[in-house]
């Protein structure tokens, strides 16, 4: 690729925005040239706007540090950047209210700027795909429908699902593809604090403590999989009916990496534990076949040790883009139990968004 | 009570032993007069033997600090103490191997010293009761059978179950008593490090981390409830068949307090959420009726806030002897979900052992 | 005491306010009858205003839960309560800006309501005493001067110093009283997150991390001791010139309990380590002599173990009102080194404020 | 370099041994071909010997996983490996007692295997250099003396200092080189748990807690700098007399990264804060000039933000080989204060050892 595609980040100074900036450093296709955030940061250099608030061990490129942050509410700034060849599309990591996010993302799309979003605002918008690149790449077929009905020319909106479900969606998909769909799932998660952004969860809640509740998370965890496992029929999404999921979401004193403890009941046939491990080991999708830059080589890594996966040791597997699973065993009530881990701000947020953008580019939507 | 009953602690210097010592400070019925531990501690004053290793914020009484620690392997020391009126029975918090514990506890009982144990060694011994004082006080009926068949005169063995199940056994019992027995249960626990004793879990495993495995814990969690919910038929225990339990046990960075996230399927009738709360609020057992000193006034406390129970804030409820529950809600797969908390080294260990001793005293088994 | 003195709490819903409420539960002299906080809480019952935000393991009395919270900005509410016999004086745990706090506390005093404050606003006001009850009880002599010059009748203001210095001020005072004043002090603190209130320090800053900075804390730690060790001359405070203090303040992942590592250079004579320990063991002040309810029996507890004091194990010593010291040893550069610990929200905040009120009551200023 | 030098690791399965294995993955000069550990691990594949005990997020190379671990006590195994061209020298990360380590390391050297050691056993052996590659590379001049007096042919011993001093030695050296030697230093450290190996510090000591003591650490911190800042006179080390150091070492709940809070008094001339920053920014040594692979490009990184350095965000700076400093400011008692951070198991252990080996190779001591 002769020249990199210039991209923008909405919500560039927040936790997920920082991850985008950090992960896109040296990306082979994309280059951050535009950054927008709240009015408070607008007008400052990116380095200045994040001074004392940068949360990651890896820092940003010097070029990015000197980008002047724009006001994300002012779509005309992105349009101007687009015209100067500095913003071909945007990653949205907006942290404002749901209604404001929904409206603002639509304004960007209407103005001709494609929006690849982490926000939850458009996940239930009927003509917006919720993409996990390995699972439902064909859901991009809705984008022409979206553009047409909205009267949008170049812009469109594609989103990714909630970070809490990332660790078990690919394992479930692998099993379903192999002829073993899940019927019911009881899931308990132990989620990292970075999922709540910065400042996010107070330290008084996370020292010698666990908080057994995350607002809105359980509903998302139970519903979003049904859209992702659904299909497009006559230009309309039909949600899957299964698996039925019961989710209990907890916040634990971990910086990054969400764990899910899953009890699974299969629909019909029940594979052996060995079959399941083979299915997971062999699992690949379009990102792997197309060699997309952010695709993990092996999307599902199984560890045989009793005491894995662990957030600190496993979250960074394959550039933090792989799911790591362990403890596959029979369930005393359903069919099998296992424990799965995914890096919530990489695979579950910015990294997942980048992989979606790569998929969309690969399929010609960002051309 | 004119004079307190002198008691001994086996494993007095370990984590649970320390809790016994600390909790029995000022007990109205019992008084620690005898302490035994590993040969390494034998011959030292208790204060000396625990110097630099005392784990609790509350300290021991000065009298206890000057007790000379005996070698727990030498049963004759306890017998001598018994004869001097310094050890009427012992609490066992032994931390040695299962087989050695089993043998040693039997030696104490055979020598005429009743053993109220926290150890897991005798939980599946057919003639040993596994007591939760509110749930199965009638299981003490096995003690005369035990004494007779063993040819023991004064001594006997009674044990308590694993700490991981304490938070949901009373809630289940309350529901079963009210006509709503559970059929199936999928449980995921987040357990405190004090459950593994000291030194126990390395800090490298508990900083920015969760360990998704505790050896042997899931098997205990799935099986022990069936003995506790069972009954004695013709001098023999019959285990209950239900509830079927699937347990996934995790270690989290919390000092004290085990949490369980429970999905529950009722056997037949399904109470409303309000009914369940009323049943829990009204729940009482023999300990409450008899006014036993360590009985929590209200064994099950329900909190209406979304974000409770939390270990740091709720584990000490009612002298750390109550179970605290929150988040009762419909389950998308089974009938209801809730989250329950119990202090693992108090209610789940030493405090539970003391309450069992109080029950046994109340029922006339301790002279 | 036939009837308890009714007291009010300003900033009652915050972290320190909650500690006041909790600690005054069952206080023999004082009874909380009035609570004021931000307009957001005004009009709600105290239980309601703190639901989901209550931070302590110990809860409030039922009576307090049903107090209607007033707007702290509206002094007339306290005056009305005073007239109804429900607010004889107030503890100020206000968390607003320094200038607003200064003004508001003066308005309360001017309206006839004595203010015993934790806030830093008035620590450098020339006619306001900064009290540590064991060290400078005679500084209350400035109160008549204050009242007179301000034209206040019943009201006055007395404050306590910053929580970061509590652990070493009494040890220094004990040594100075015994003829061994300190000349220079190099102090590094490791401070608990509760010192920053709630939500306070973000958990992302406190998991697997230390923050080597607390805004304004070092200046307070270096200057406030000079006022406390000063004296009143001709109705005016004269600050002490020594000890010169260099403070480096760090935030560490601990809920409660500030540690200070102190290197000390004596002015002239240098006591032996044994002499120092004897001086600390014998140290008493007016609170001990007068038997004030919140006075620790032994204000300075020395522990001989190498690895003490530790926040989790030592912060609650003597109702969390004692200072716990360990590791006294020669310093390779100055004379001696030691490590000291004090509970920052009890002795260093609400408990210290209550002890100051007891001192003021004992001396007739609240009568 | 046509072919890599084969190296061995003694203590290969421990915490520091794992870091060696991990860091030497893809090293341009060295290649791990030999691994030795305790008899318990001997005979197992490296992957097997560390299964369930591997502590790092980064894993080992597959080739290393299949190395058969030898018994470190049996020097003949290394000699055999040397003859087969599989072990040119060894990195010692032995975790046995000091006397045994001293003897064993000498046996390796006597057998012709150079030993680059992290262990403390030989730091005070008169003819063994304690190297920090940027500071005292000329101390390698003692090696010929060592070899000659011991009658060793090919083997020798070189060691590195304790991890606790790594963060401030280079800053002090930079200042001394620029004409501003330090006279006195009062240092308080907050040290990570990985410094104690695995299992190391119990989690009960590190949850909601700080331990104000690390056995032996303060003595090492006060004495080792004097050898490093010393010089060789007539084939004998002369220790420096300054700076006098007083160290107070604490263990805090951090996985990796030791912090030191330093108060510094200069010998004579006192540079301005700006001069100091310039001196640090310009600081380079032989490793930088020679372009050694593990040399950080900028050995001392200064951060202007108030709240840095922080372990989680700064320990990995420049491959975890740089020192990160912040908070340079006047000291109220000495001349200046600053806070410094170094990654204890990389720069302070395995990475520092590798850099020492690179220096020795560069200077011709490794064949």
The catalytic residue positions of A are 163, 258
Name, in order, each residue with C-beta under 8 angstroms of A2's C-beta and a sequence gap of 6 or more. Answer: none
From the centroid of its chain, how far is CA D163? 6
Give the pLDDT score at D55.
Answer: 86
Answer for the pair D186, D334: CB distance below 8 angstroms, yes or no: yes
d(CA A62, CA D295): 22
Distance CA B64, CA B47 (A): 8
Tell me if chain D has a CB within 8 Å of the CB of B199.
Answer: yes
Residue range D274-298: average pLDDT? 98
Cα B179 to Cα B174: distance, rounded to the nearest angstrom:
9
CA distance C334 to B249: 52
Q: Residues D220-247, buried b or exposed e (16+ Cβ, 10 A)?
A: bbbbbbbbbbbebeeeebeeeeebbbbb
Looking at the DSSP bridge assignments, the partners of residue B191 are B251
Enumerate residues 6+ apart whose C-beta is below 8 A from A138.
A231, A232
Compute the half-sphere exposure of residue B245: CA atoms within 13 Å on the CB side of its CA. Answer: 31
Write the CA distances from D105 to D96, D118, D141, D158, integer angstroms.
11, 11, 20, 10
Q: Does D62 touch chain C (CB under 8 A)?
A: no
Q: How many CB atoms lie within 10 A of CB D252?
A: 26
**DSSP bridge pairs for B338:** B262
Q: How many CA atoms lie within 13 A of A299 on its CB side?
A: 30
Interchain contact A204–C (C-beta under 8 A): yes
For C187, C321, C361, D275, the CA distances from C352, given in Å and listed in that order, are 22, 8, 14, 44
Mapped onto helix, strand or coil, the DSSP state of residue D30 is strand
Rounded to a whole number of angstroms, the distance from the CA of C53 to the nearest CA of chain B is 10
D48: closest CA of chain C, how far (Å): 29
Instruction: Say yes or no for a CB contact (<8 Å) between A248 and B210.
Output: no
Report yes or no: A78 and A34 within 8 Å, Cβ to Cβ.
yes
What residues are paired with A191 via a beta bridge? A251
Nearest one of D361, D346, D293, D348 to D21, comparing CA atoms: D346
Residues of C in contact with A199 (CB under 8 A): 199, 202, 204
| Reported pTM | 0.96
Q: What is the rounded CA–CA span in Å between residue A55 and residue A37?
A: 16
Q: Which of A52, A305, A313 sits opposite D51 (nearest CB)?
A: A305
pLDDT at A52: 83
Cβ distance of B202 and D204 shorter than 8 Å: no
Question: Distance, in angstroms, between A311 CA and closest chain D CA?
Answer: 9
| Residue C200 structure tokens | 């306070």
CA count, 13 A, side-chain hemisphere, B256: 25
Q: Angle CA(B336)–CA(B339)–CA(B342) in degrees, nearest 5?
A: 135
Q: Does B327 touch chain A (CB under 8 A)?
A: yes
In this predicted structure, the answer to whether residue B55 has a pLDDT above a threshold of 90 is no
DSSP B4: P
Active-site residue numbers of B? Answer: 163, 258
Q: Are B227 and B300 in contact (CB under 8 A)?
A: no
Whether chain C has a CB inside 8 Å of the CB on A200: the answer is yes
C215 lies within 8 A of chain D by CB? yes
Nearest to B345 by CA among B63, B57, B4, B115: B57
Contact D313 A55 (CB under 8 A): yes
Asked whether the beta carbons of residue A203 and residue C202 sit closer than 8 angstroms, the reply is yes
C173 catalytic residue (yes or no): no
Separation CA A220–CA A164 (nearest Å)? 8
CA nearest to B197 within chain D = D204
Looking at residue C2, its pLDDT comes to 59
Sign of CA dihedral C329, C333, C339, C340: positive
* A332 Cα to chain B: minimum distance (Å): 5
**CB contact (8 A) between residue A305 and residue D57:** no
Q: Tokens 């900005």 — which residue? A: C73
Instruction: Give chain A's residues under pLDDT 70.
Output: 1-2
Distances (CA, A) of C107 to C89, C113, C141, C153: 13, 9, 22, 13
Average pLDDT over all residues of chain D: 96
For residue B150, what pLDDT is reported?
97
The C-alpha atoms of residue B281 and residue B298 are separated, in whole angstroms, by 7
Question: Which chain B residues are closer than 8 Å to A222 by Cβ?
Answer: 332
* Catalytic residue from among C87, C122, C163, C249: C163
pLDDT digit string, tens, across residues B303-347: 999 999 999 999 999 999 999 999 999 999 999 999 999 999 999
Tell me whether B193 touches chain D (CB under 8 Å): yes
Q: How distant is the Cα of C213 from the closest Cα of chain A, in angstroms?
A: 11
> Cα–Cα–Cα angle for D329, D332, D333, nearest 5°?
120
Retrieve residue B172's tokens: 């289940």
Query: Pseudo-torsion of CA B354, B359, B362, B366, nearest 10°?
Result: -60
Quick check: B1 pLDDT over 70?
A: no
Contacts of D198 in chain B (CB under 8 A): 202, 204
pLDDT higher than 70, residue D26: yes
Decide: A109 and A117 in contact? Cβ < 8 Å.
no
CB contact under 8 A, B327 and A215: no
Cite the beta strand spans of chain D per DSSP E.
Answer: 5-10, 30-37, 70-71, 89-92, 115-117, 157-159, 182-191, 231-233, 236-238, 244-251, 258-266, 300-302, 323-330, 336-342
Cβ within 8 Å of residue D126, ≥6 positions away: D236, D237
- CB of B205 within 8 Å of a chain D CB? The answer is yes
| pLDDT tens for the 367 residues of chain C, in order | 458 999 999 999 999 999 999 999 999 999 999 999 999 999 999 999 998 888 898 888 889 999 999 999 999 999 999 999 999 999 999 988 999 999 999 999 999 999 999 999 999 999 999 999 999 999 999 999 999 999 999 999 999 999 999 999 999 999 999 999 999 999 999 999 999 999 999 999 999 999 999 999 999 999 999 999 999 999 999 999 999 999 999 999 999 999 999 999 999 999 999 999 999 999 999 999 999 999 999 999 999 999 999 999 999 999 999 999 999 999 999 999 999 999 999 999 999 999 999 999 999 999 7
Please tell me the distance in Å from A196's CA to the nearest CA on chain C: 10
Give the pair of three-digit tokens for residue B199: 């030194």
Which residues in chain A have their CB less than 8 angstroms from residue C198's CB? 202, 204
Nearest CB among B212, B215, B332 relative to A245 is that of B332
Determine contact: B245 vs chain A, CB below 8 A: yes
Q: What is the CA radius of gyration of chain A?
A: 20
For A53-107, the three-class secondary structure string (H helix, E strand, C coil) is CCCCCCCCCHHHHCCECEECCCHHHHHHHHHCCCCCEEEECCCCCHHHHHHHHHH
pLDDT for the residue numbered D2: 60
Angle of helix A351-362 relative to helix A15-24, nearest 10 degrees, comes to: 50
Candidates A207, A209, A256: best to mutate against C (most CBs of C within 10 A) is A207
Q: Specify whether the CB–CB gap between D356 and D137 falls below 8 A.
A: no
Which of A164, A261, A340, A342 has the highest number of chain B CBs within 10 A, making it the mutation to test binding with B?
A261
The verdict on a CB contact (< 8 Å) between C205 and A203 is: yes
φ and ψ at residue B314, rounded to 5 degrees: -115, -15
Residues A305, D52: C-beta atoms closer than 8 Å? yes
Q: Are C210 and D311 in contact (CB under 8 A)?
A: yes
Please choose, from the candidates C15, C66, C96, the residue with its C-alpha nearest in 3D space to the C-alpha of residue C349.
C15
- D312/C250 CB distance under 8 A: no
Helix, strand, coil content of chain D in percent (nearest 5): 35, 20, 45
- Residue B62, classified by CB atoms within 10 Å of its CB into exposed (0-12), middle (13-18) or buried (19+), is exposed
Report the residue of D54, D59, D313, D320 to disrupt the A interface, i.e. the one with the largest count of A CBs within 10 Å.
Answer: D313
Taking an 8 Å cut-off on Cβ atoms, the answer to whether A248 and B339 are in contact is yes
Pairwise CB contact (< 8 Å): D307 & A51: no
Q: Which of A19, A196, A203 to mutate to test the interface with C (most CBs of C within 10 A)?
A: A203
**What residues in B contact C19, CB-CB < 8 Å?**
none
Does the CB of A55 have a partner CB in chain C at under 8 Å? yes
Cβ–Cβ contact D55 with B under 8 A: yes
Whether B260 has a pLDDT exceeding 60, the answer reads: yes
Q: Which of C188, C209, C306 sits opposite D213 (nearest CB)?
A: C306
């Amino acid at each position: 690729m002769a020249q990199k595609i210039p991209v923008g980040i909405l919500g560039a100074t927040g936790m997920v925005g920082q991850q985008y900036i950090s992960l896109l450093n040296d990306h082979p296709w994309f280059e951050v040239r535009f950054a927008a955030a709240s009015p408070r940061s607008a007008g400052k250099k990116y380095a200045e706007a994040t001074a004392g608030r940068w949360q990651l061990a890896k820092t940003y490129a010097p070029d990015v540090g000197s980008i002047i942050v724009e006001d994300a509410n002012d779509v005309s700034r992105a349009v101007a950047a687009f015209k100067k060849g500095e913003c071909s599309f945007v990653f949205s990591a907006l942290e404002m209210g749901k209604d404001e996010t929904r409206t603002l993302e639509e304004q960007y799309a209407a103005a001709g700027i494609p929006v690849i979003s982490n926000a939850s605002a458009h996940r239930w918008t009927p003509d917006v795909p919720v993409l996990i690149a390995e699972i439902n790449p064909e859901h991009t077929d809705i984008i022409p429908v979206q553009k047409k009905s909205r009267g949008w020319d170049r812009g469109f909106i594609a989103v990714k699902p909630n970070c809490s479900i990332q660790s078990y969606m690919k394992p479930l998909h692998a099993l379903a593809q192999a002829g073993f769909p899940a019927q019911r799932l009881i899931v308990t998660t132990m989620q990292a604090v970075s999922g709540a952004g910065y400042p996010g969860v107070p330290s008084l809640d996370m020292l010698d403590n666990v908080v057994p509740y995350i607002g809105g998370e359980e509903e998302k965890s139970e519903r979003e999989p049904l859209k992702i496992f659904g299909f497009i029929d006559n230009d309309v999404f039909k949600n899957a009916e299964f698996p039925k999921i019961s989710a209990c979401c907890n916040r634990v004193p971990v910086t990054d990496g969400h764990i899910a403890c899953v009890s699974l009941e299969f629909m019909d046939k029940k594979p052996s534990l060995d079959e399941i491990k083979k299915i997971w080991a062999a699992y690949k999708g379009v990102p792997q076949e197309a060699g997309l830059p952010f695709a993990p080589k092996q999307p599902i890594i199984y560890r045989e040790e009793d005491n894995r996966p662990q957030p600190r040791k496993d979250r960074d597997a394959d550039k933090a883009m792989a799911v790591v699973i362990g403890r596959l065993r029979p369930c005393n009530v359903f069919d099998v139990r296992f424990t799965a881990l995914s890096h919530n701000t990489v695979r579950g947020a910015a990294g997942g968004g980048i992989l979606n953008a790569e998929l969309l580019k690969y399929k010609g939507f960002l051309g």
